[in-house]
Structure 1
Amino acid sequence: MKNVLWFLVGIVGGFIVAHFVDKDPRGHELMADVDARISEFTDRIADAYRAQEARFEGIVAEVKDAAADALESAKDTAGDVLDAAKGTAGDAVDAVKDAAATAADKASDAVDAAKDAASDAADAASDAVEEAADTASDAAEKATGDDAPHND
């Protein structure tokens, strides 16, 4: 707190001294010279600041343009990838449909072949049963003597 008080006393004292110096013609000339130098310094600082700000604005504009170009390029690339993925997915779906149709045709052919085999097996079994029946009938005739000579 004491330091702040001394700081304020110094500022007030400086204004008082400047006021008395400004009353004297030589002091007035000195104050005008100091004021001109301060104005020149602040003008130079302001010009340098504006030049630097303009340079930064140019760089920022270039970065914004580059970012917009990169974003547009990324969008285009993503669209191309998406289109390629859609095409590949469509090709995969078509391939699956073709494979399913081929599998269905082969399954149908296998079912038809199994039916034919079952029919052939049933025919063979029927023939075997008929042959067995004929053989059994012949054996029964022999056993009963129908083939034996008759005593008439």
Structure 2
Amino acid sequence: MKSLVWFALGIAGGFVAAHLVNKDPRGQELFAQLDARIGEFTDRMTDAYHAQETRLSDIIDDAKSAAGSVANHASDAATHAADAVGDAAAAAKKTITSSN
């Protein structure tokens, strides 16, 4: 409970100190610089986030494209294998029929 009281007093003291500093023109300049730096930081973080998001989207799109290509090749291979089995069965049937 004591910690909560000290925490609340610290927050209240911070607001009072900020209010007093903001009354002074030098304090206002300090807060303006601080605000500019925070704005610059958030802009950089936003740009970095969007760049990473774009990079990951490109990777996912490439993976989807590769998976589709593999699926198409697998489908083609299965079709060719089925045709080969069918041809082999027909040849075997023809051989059995002609030997009887």
RMSD: 2.1
Distance 1:78 1:20, change over 3 A: same
Q: Give the structure 2 partner of residue 89 of structure 1.
A: 89
Aligned letter for 2:53?
E
Residue 78 (structure 1) shift: 0.9
Distance 1:89 1:24, change over 3 A: same
Q: Give the structure 2 partner of residue 26 of structure 1.
A: 26
Q: Give the structure 2 partner of residue 64 of structure 1.
A: 64
2:40 is aligned with 1:76: no
Distance 1:75 1:23, change over 3 A: same
Q: Give the structure 2 partner of residue 53 of structure 1.
A: 53
Structure of higher CA gyration radius: 1
Bigger shift: 10-19 or 37-46? 10-19
Distance of 2:47 and 2:11 partners within structure 1 = 29
**Normalising by structure 2, what TM-score?**
0.80
Question: Taking every aligned residue pair, what percent have the same amino acid on both sides?
Answer: 48
Alpha-carbon deviations, 1:5-35, whole Å to 9, x = none?
2545434432332222222222111111101
Residue 92 (structure 1) shift: 2.1
- Map 1:1-152 onto structure 2 (within 5 A): 5=4, 6-99=6-99, 102=100
Distance 1:77 1:37, change over 3 A: same
**Normalising by structure 1, what TM-score?**
0.56
Higher relative contact order (CA 8 A, sep 6+): 2
Structure 1 runs not aligned, ≥5 long: 103-152
Distance 1:70 1:24, change over 3 A: same
